[in-house]
Amino acid sequence: MFPREIRKRIGAVGAVLVVAAGAAAVAVPSEAQASTLSMRGADVSTLQRAVELGAKYYTAAGAVADPLDILKSAGVNYVRLRVWNNPRSGYNNAAKVLAYAKTVKAKGFKLLVDFHYSDTWADPGKQAKPAAWSSHGISALTTDVYDYTYGVCNSLKAQGTTPDSVQIGNEINVGMLWNDGKVVNNDFTDLSLLLKAGYNATKACNSSTQVVIHTANSDSDAHARWFYDGIRARGVAWDVTALSYYCNWHGTMANMTSVVADMISRYGKPAILAETAAPFTLNNADGTGNSINTACSGYAATWNGQGAAFTAVQNAAKAGGAVGVFYWEPTWTAVPGNGWDPANIASSGDGWDNMAVFNWTNVFNGAVKWIS
């Protein structure tokens, strides 16, 4: 996810979105049935740093509380943590993730580890190799992915925090570890080698850990099919199909319902939204501009509007048959020193302060609920 440069892409609408009295009801495509959201997730990758800096979080009633407990009370049962290979700030390297995994698991959450295979943000617009792998070709990179994935997973397992799921790459719409693992001229060969290495490493570490493959392709069946057909044709195995959905970039909720249903029907695997979010304001809390500056259609950028939009996204995903929805960085408020740039974390700001589910004084938005 953030920060990214994304062109808005228009996908075909495969279901009907009905908006009435500020609430959304999504028609269920004939090939899908409404599901139960068993993976009610939150990516809190920046929370460890915020807490270490002394940030306090408050319930909707204004009482100081552990932010993970607040999220759990709102319905969260699954935590997602990204891991970068060697970020300059140290956050979120393997050592930091190992430490925070203990906190997460002690609270009773399941754990999804999101491998970016980079020293910084990996998303549809950039997938830079870690500096330590910069001169490696595809053969060496395949070994790198296996060894690194196995090493992190096995270290988590050894300390009693075995990941329940792992992502092999983050929003890898056209591949990862560019340029070697980039899909060029519809050739998925090298990317498939990397994905197989990640899958095999995960299963060697713990056979019951789910392997997730994640793109941001909730915008259209055509884009999603191009990617997942491409890796399937090369023999890539995975357990869960994951998409990102942001209304500002990926079209209507009705269309997302259709794409989710198509993914489940086409590949016979559970599907989740690994990322989503909605704004509670369009104002900005610090010197770094907001990543998102518009609200979802039909939902105001207000406290209640954020809650209603998130509920609508969850219902739309359920209508397509999804089994999980993860809110991206609900705790990333504008805490000084917890900036977006891993090369300058102390001085850079937060472009997500209007998208968190805590306001600028770190009070929780009680209108936000994770639903089953």
Q: Catalytic positions, please?
A: 171, 275
d(CA 39, CA 37): 5
3-state DSSP assignment of residue 227? helix
Name every residue whose Cβ is closer than 8 Å to that of residue 23 and which is 6 or more positions away in sequence.
Answer: 308, 311, 312
Q: Bridge partners of 241?
A: 213, 271
Which tokens in the block code for residue 159? 């300390």
E strand segments, 195-285: 210-215, 240-244, 271-275
| Cβ(136)–Cβ(128) below 8 Å | no
Quick one: which H or E segment has residue 189?
Answer: helix 189-205
d(CA 90, CA 105): 21
Quick one: which H or E segment has residue 140?
Answer: helix 138-158
Quick one: which H or E segment has residue 193?
Answer: helix 189-205
Q: Bridge partners of 113?
A: 81, 166
- At position 53, the amino acid (one-letter code) is L
Of 246, 237, 227, 104, the C-alpha closest to 173 is 227
d(CA 251, CA 10): 6
From residue 295, give the alpha-carbon distance in Å to each of 61, 190, 217, 292: 26, 38, 20, 8
Q: Is the dihedral of CA 324, 301, 46, 86 positive or negative?
A: positive
